[in-house]
């Protein structure tokens, strides 16, 4: 009972007091740890059990392995596998045990090990086949999966409703969609009844592959719908940025007297996080509490993430402190949140707390910490964290972590140290790594290293338009128009377009989106007047347009004009017009803030006495009283 409810220390106490322990008591305790993701302790107990010569029965092993397969944990599969091998005769592994091992390996990414076990099976039943096919789809070896599915049918082993559902559930990726459609066809051809699980898995698959209309067709045809059906469709809409449709469904669902639960709400909250819609996020938060929807650990994490990503780090931290239950994901969200806001010290403090509580950080934790150090210019601390990751926690830095290090050193102006990392890292640097170096070269004006990085980028990924823009940007800063033109031409020939700059601003709960340039907005006349006024006041305050950030080789006057119509400035003008004096203005943009807008926004915060909070692609800028929280360091 204690294990099931997650009161593991109480369970352990009872366990320790037992005079006699049999296989069942060990099994229960270990399953408790696995179920609640305390893998270290589970492994320790398995070893202790072995030491005490308690020999687990096959069914004990199966039940533990099954749990492991469900949580898809990679760290434990290896030692568990070793343990099973050690305790049984490899040549006489029972079919049931083997099948469970296949499932465990297939679900946790070791598809090759799963296959070798699969090939040793004499009698391959539907469970083994399904586990294997599902494993292939999960690790993106879809062709192999299709082949095996065909072989299974040839062998005369036919899938049933349950196995079809578990396969379809794996098909929510672009790569697997074709297979998913084939399975859908199989379901129809063979006259399976569209039960709720079957329909839900199909709905979810189409939703995840952005084929919402197919999902909708299935949904509309259904006679009965339960909480999962609604939830899946709502997630599909939020994923496709159709928030109005999602909210409509929330209302409709209430009307058909099905009450949303915490799972339903998570996808709505995470939409707000993604799009920076704070007002909507607050509304949903209030809705959750008003409807007395239970806030479990995942929903709390989503809310924390939402507040952090919408600029309200104080509320995010309050929710974090109030949470009675925290997992690694929640800690990571909070660390990432602090980093995003430039509070590097706070992120590090949180990490210290984690360490004191003996909570094991994972690789995402370190991405958060390294990028937090990077945004705050904490070079020494960042280096220490990187060492700790390797030495204390035995985590092998992945390419992302090297990318963070290059960013950390590059941003701080230590270009050659950054380049050292690029040259000595144990894997081939990718576009992210070269891109970080290139961006650093742009900020710290090292055209030679910048050019080298540019060439590498073009070599690895000639199609990436973002990097081409950055390259032409570097040339433009040096007024090397010839090079700018040739990069631009090459882009045009390949049909590449610069990702358009988009700025969003939420006013009275509605999100308004602006792109660059003059646009067909009902209020555009007013906005244009406002922009003119802003420019006048800016110039009076000593602002000069920084035309070096404009990429095009055009006349100076035109360049100024193109600056004036940067989406960010338009959104700001719109905010100034439509919000009450002295309320903060919040803007979310898809690209990084440009130098000119950054300077202008600082001044504007002083001129109009407004706090202006801008979330760019990677971090927050809090502008107030003429300065920015990033300390001009981004």
Partner DNA sequence: ATAGGGTTAG
CB of 327 to DNA, least distance (A): 7
Look at residues 332, 338, 340, 334 and name the one whose alpha carbon lies nearest to residue 319.
Answer: 334
Nearer to DNA, 225 or 383 (CB): 225
DSSP state of 594: P
Nearer to DNA, 297 or 496 (CB): 297
In the complex, which residues of this chain contact DNA (CB under 7 A)? 70, 95-96, 99-100, 125-128, 130, 160-163, 165-166, 169, 195-201, 204, 208, 226-229, 231-232, 235, 261-264, 266-267, 270, 273, 296-299, 301-302, 305, 327-330, 332-333, 336, 363-364, 367-368, 371, 400, 403, 432, 618
Nearer to DNA, 232 or 412 (CB): 232
CB of 563 to DNA, least distance (A): 28
Contact 484, 551 (CB under 8 A): yes
Question: Strand, coil or helix: what is 583?
Answer: coil
Nearer to DNA, 262 or 605 (CB): 262
- The pair phi, psi for residue 354, each rounded to 5°, is -60, -45
CB of 415 to DNA, least distance (A): 21
CB of 262 to DNA, least distance (A): 4
DSSP state of 358: T
For the chain, what is the radius of gyration of the CA atoms?
28
- Locate 523 and state its tokens: 């209020």
Interatomic CA distance for residues 356 and 352, integer angstroms: 6
Interatomic CA distance for residues 206 and 213, integer angstroms: 8
CB of 78 to DNA, least distance (A): 20
Interatomic CA distance for residues 108 and 66, integer angstroms: 12
CB of 402 to DNA, least distance (A): 11
Contact 301, 330 (CB under 8 A): yes
CB of 368 to DNA, least distance (A): 6
CB of 25 to DNA, least distance (A): 21
Burial of 379 (0-12, 13-18, 19+ CB in 10 A): middle
Nearer to DNA, 170 or 596 (CB): 170
Residue 135: count of CB within 10 angstroms of its CB: 29
Nearer to DNA, 226 or 625 (CB): 226
CB of 301 to DNA, least distance (A): 3
Question: Strand, coil or helix: what is 551?
Answer: coil
Nearer to DNA, 139 or 169 (CB): 169
Q: Given the structure tokens 């007047």, which residue do they identify?
A: 529
Look at residues 274, 199, 260, 202 and name the one whose alpha carbon lies nearest to residue 231.
Answer: 260
CB of 187 to DNA, least distance (A): 12
Nearer to DNA, 77 or 301 (CB): 301
**Per-residue three-class SS string for 414-482:** CHHHHHHHHHHCCCCCCHHHHHHHHHHHHHCCCHHHHHHHHHHHHHHCCCCHHHHHHHHHHHHHCCCHH
Look at residues 494, 470, 475 and name the one whose alpha carbon lies nearest to residue 485.
Answer: 475
Residue 251 makes CB contacts below 8 A (sequence gap 6+) with none
CB of 211 to DNA, least distance (A): 15
Virtual CA dihedral for 448, 452, 454, 460, nearest 10 degrees? 180
CB of 136 to DNA, least distance (A): 16
- The pair phi, psi for residue 29, each rounded to 5°, is -65, -45
Nearer to DNA, 201 or 472 (CB): 201
CB of 335 to DNA, least distance (A): 9
Positions of E strands within 236-345: none
Residue 547 makes CB contacts below 8 A (sequence gap 6+) with 556, 559, 560, 563, 596
Nearer to DNA, 130 or 567 (CB): 130
Nearer to DNA, 306 or 491 (CB): 306
For 614, the enclosing helix (H) or strand (E) is: strand 612-615
Nearer to DNA, 27 or 100 (CB): 100
Question: Strand, coil or helix: what is 622?
Answer: strand
Sheet of strand 585-589, all strands in order from the earlier edge strand to the far edge: 510-515, 502-507, 585-589, 612-615, 620-624, 627-628
Interatomic CA distance for residues 60 and 45, integer angstroms: 14
- Locate 214 and state its tokens: 């197919």
Nearer to DNA, 273 or 550 (CB): 273
Nearer to DNA, 54 or 95 (CB): 95
CB of 465 to DNA, least distance (A): 17
């Amino acid at each position: 009972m204690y294990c099931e409810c997650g009161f593991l220390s109480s369970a352990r106490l009872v366990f320790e007091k037992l005079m006699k322990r049999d296989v069942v008591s060990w099994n229960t305790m270990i399953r408790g740890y696995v179920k609640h993701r305390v893998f270290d302790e589970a492994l320790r107990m398995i070893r202790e059990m072995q030491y005490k010569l308690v020999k687990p029965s096959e069914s004990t092993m199966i039940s533990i392995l099954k749990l492991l397969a469900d949580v898809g944990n990679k760290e434990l599969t290896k030692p568990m596998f070793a343990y099973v091998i050690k305790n049984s005769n490899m040549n006489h592994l029972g079919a049931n045990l083997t099948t469970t091992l296949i499932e465990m390996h297939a679900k946790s990414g070791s598809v090759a090990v799963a296959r070798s076990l699969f090939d040793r099976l004499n009698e391959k039943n539907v469970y083994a086949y399904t586990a294997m096919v599902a494993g292939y789809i999960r690790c993106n070896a879809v062709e192999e999966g299709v082949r095996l599915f065909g072989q299974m049918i040839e062998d005369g082993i036919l899938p049933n409703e349950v196995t079809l559902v578990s396969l379809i559930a794996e098909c929510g990726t672009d790569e697997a969609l074709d297979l998913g459609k084939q399975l859908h066809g199989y379901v129809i051809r063979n006259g399976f009844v569209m039960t709720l699980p079957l329909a839900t898995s199909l709905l979810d698959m189409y939703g995840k592959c952005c084929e919402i209309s197919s999902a909708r067709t299935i949904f509309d045809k259904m006679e009965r719908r339960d909480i999962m059906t609604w939830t899946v469709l709502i997630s599909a809409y939020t994923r496709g940025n159709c928030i109005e449709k999602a909210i409509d469904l929330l209302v409709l669902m209430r009307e058909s007297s099905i009450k949303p639960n915490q799972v339903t709400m998570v996808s709505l909250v995470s939409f707000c996080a993604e799009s920076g819609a704070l007002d909507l996020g607050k509304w949903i938060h209030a809705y959750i509490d008003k409807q007395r929807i239970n806030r479990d650990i995942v929903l709390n994490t989503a809310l924390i993430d939402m507040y952090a990503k919408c600029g309200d780090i104080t509320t995010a931290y309050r929710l974090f402190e109030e949470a009675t239950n925290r997992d690694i994901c929640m800690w990571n969200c909070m660390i990432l949140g602090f980093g995003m806001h430039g509070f590097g010290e706070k992120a590090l403090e949180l990490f210290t707390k984690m360490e004191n509580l003996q909570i094991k950080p994972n690789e995402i934790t370190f991405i958060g910490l390294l990028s937090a150090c990077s945004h705050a210019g904490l070079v020494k601390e960042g280096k220490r964290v990187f060492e700790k990751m390797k030495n204390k926690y035995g985590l092998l830095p992945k390419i992302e972590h090297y990318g963070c290090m290059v960013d950390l050193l590059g941003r701080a102006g230590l270009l050659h140290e950054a380049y050292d990392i690029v040259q000595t890292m144990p894997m081939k640097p990718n576009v992210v790594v070269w891109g970080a170096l290139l961006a650093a070269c742009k900020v710290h004006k090292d055209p030679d290293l910048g050019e080298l990085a540019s060439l590498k980028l073009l070599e690895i990924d000639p199609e990436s338009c973002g990097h081409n823009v950055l390259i032409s940007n570097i040339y433009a800063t040096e007024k090397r128009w010839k090079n700018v033109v040739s990069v631009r031409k090459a882009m045009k020939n390949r049909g590449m377009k610069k990702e358009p700059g988009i700025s969003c601003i939420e006013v009275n709960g509605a999100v308004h989106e602006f792109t660059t340039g003059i646009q067909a907005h009902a209020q555009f006349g007013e906005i244009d007047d406002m922009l003119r006024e802003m420019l006048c006041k800016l110039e009076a305050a000593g602002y000069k347009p920084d035309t070096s950030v404009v990429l095009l080789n055009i006349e100076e006057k035109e360049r100024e004009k193109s600056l004036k119509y940067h989406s960010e400035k338009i959104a700001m003008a719109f905010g100034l017009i439509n919000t009450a004096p002295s309320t903060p203005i919040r803007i979310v943009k898809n690209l990084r803030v440009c130098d000119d807008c950054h300077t202008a926004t600082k001044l504007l915060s002083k001129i109009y006495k407004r706090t202006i909070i801008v979330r760019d692609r990677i971090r927050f800028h809090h502008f107030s009283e003429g300065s920015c929280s990033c300390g001009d360091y981004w």
